[in-house]
Amino acid sequence: MMQTSPAFLDDPSAALTRVLRLPAVDGAPSLELRLSLPEGSRSPQGRPVLIILEAEAYFEAAVQMARRLIRRSAKTRVDPLMILGVSLTDAPDRISAFVFTSGADGRDVVPQGAGLLRRLTEEILPLLVAEGADPDNVALMGHSMSGLFVLQARAAAAPFARYVAASPSIWWNPDVIAAQPVRSDAETDLLAVVGEREETPGLPPAHLARRMISNMQGLADAGGTRLRVLEDEDHGSTPYAALPAALRFASPLKGA
């Protein structure tokens, strides 16, 4: 019997939203995908896309913000775009799902990051194109461990046009900094954001040892990176505070 390819289905609980659930495959966790489409007819050249990892935390906030900002696109510099939320389902270990290597602290994990990246690029990107996405204008965003995943995807030359890493857990794999591609200032494809309060005196020594801001400054030295240290934000608030900048960055015409 011929197997049919998976396809998004309309979400009856949310307008302009489509859903798809993918079972686990060898080396990659099971996923729930939620796709928000902009109002209006399909663009002939395809829509830009922002893929947001850990969608259970950030998808709804990003969708609501995008729908508000595209009403005044010329002022907000946010283009009508598709937003894909990617959530882990039944993943035994969130860290394992996103990392490519065992941690510097020697924690025992089975890295699934490479498998997840293959699933995103080989299985999910074609599904997005079928929904009207522009394959040359896809941005990938993650926070903390999924932010590290974003940097490792960039180091692996994944086929994304832009990357947004919010407070990435570089401490897990410091070698990811040296693995970043060399870019000129005119080739900026990475927006790196971190909260001002993520490396301040008074934090527990274990937190300070993660060098959340210092590592980001080292990352920016490789070029091609727009670094923003967000005033008065901490590790938990940074991804939400970064959403307007992430939406602009994912908008190829206005966010460059």
Looking at the domain assignment, is residue 255 inside a domain? Answer: no
pLDDT of 13 reads 77
Residue 245, domain extent: 9-249
**Cβ proximity of 221 and 229 under 8 Å:** no
Could you tell me which of 92, 118, 128, 134 has the C-alpha nearest to residue 20? Answer: 128
pTM, 2 dp: 0.93
pLDDT in tens, 198-239: 999 888 988 899 899 999 998 888 889 999 999 999 999 999
Looking at the domain assignment, is residue 1 inside a domain? Answer: no
Looking at the domain assignment, is residue 62 inside a domain? Answer: yes
The CATH number linked to 169 is: 3.40.50.1820
Please give the tally of structural domains in the chain. 1
* pLDDT higher than threshold 70 for residue 105: no
Looking at the domain assignment, is residue 2 inside a domain? Answer: no
pLDDT in tens, 12-58: 877 789 999 999 988 888 999 999 999 877 778 899 999 999 999 99
Residue matched to tokens 């994990």: 109
Enclosing H/E stretch for 226: strand 225-230
pLDDT of 163 reads 97
**Cβ proximity of 38 and 82 under 8 Å:** yes
E-only strand ranges, 90-187: 133-143, 162-166
Looking at the domain assignment, is residue 3 inside a domain? Answer: no
Instruction: Assign 149 to helix, strand or coil.
Output: helix
Looking at the domain assignment, is residue 112 inside a domain? Answer: yes
Looking at the domain assignment, is residue 137 inside a domain? Answer: yes
Looking at the domain assignment, is residue 160 inside a domain? Answer: yes
